[in-house]
A = this chain, B = another copy of it.
Amino acid sequence: MDRVTLHHDLREHHRKLTRARQAVLEILTQANRHLTPAAVYRKAKIKYPHLGLTTVYRTLDLLVELGYIRRIHFADGCHSYAATAQAHGHHLVCSVCGRAEEFGNCDLEALMKSLQAKTGFEISVHVLELMGLCPECRAKSRAPKRKK
């Protein structure tokens, strides 16, 4: 996941390691939460002022392709991104603060087997995303409301 690995992966695809790419990945990796393209742009621009929004869009696509980040889907206001550490990871997202926790072991084998048998579909991809309250936001929401 570090710069070296990225550089390596990029080389394999005949792509270059650029400041723009480093900035975008860095932002998402350190954010520990999901971010929209616009938010990534805003934050990354601080580290690398010359950055353009177009490049952010292109970079997000690239990083998804390489598996460094994943697209998060919401009921409304779709399209946010979160960093991934695992090759096959999913996210557990806090609906209040946006924190995105990665998890693997999405054990869907049994379900998929049974569905393949029942429907004849040949399943190749799955999208799994869990949403709720992170421990911190959970505590806050329980705490007695203060003034007003």
Closest to A131 in B: B125
Nearest chain B CB to A24's CB is how many angstroms away?
Answer: 18
- Contact of A78 with B by CB under 8 A: yes
Asked if B115 contacts A107 (CB within 8 A), the reply is: no
- Contact of A6 with B by CB under 8 A: no
- Contact of A18 with B by CB under 8 A: no
Please encode chain A, from 119 to 143, with 1 for each CB lying within 8 Å of some chain B CB and 0 for all others. Answer: 1111111111111111100100000
Chain B contacts of A105 at CB under 8 A?
Answer: 111
- Contact of A48 with B by CB under 8 A: no
Asked if A123 contacts B92 (CB within 8 A), the reply is: yes
Please encode chain A, from 99 to 128, with 1 for each CB lying within 8 Å of some chain B CB and 0 for all others. Answer: 001010111101110010001111111111
Nearest chain B CB to A84's CB is how many angstroms away?
Answer: 14
Please encode chain A, from 65 to 107, with 1 for each CB lying within 8 Å of some chain B CB and 0 for all others. Answer: 0000001010100110000000000001011000001010111
Which residues of A does B touch, CB under 8 Å? 64, 71, 73, 75, 78-79, 92, 94-95, 101, 103, 105-108, 110-112, 115, 119-135, 138
What would 16 more interface pairs be, CB under 8 Å, given A121-B133, A122-B133, A126-B130? A78-B78, A78-B79, A92-B121, A92-B123, A94-B121, A101-B121, A103-B115, A120-B138, A121-B130, A122-B138, A123-B131, A123-B132, A124-B132, A126-B129, A127-B131, A128-B128
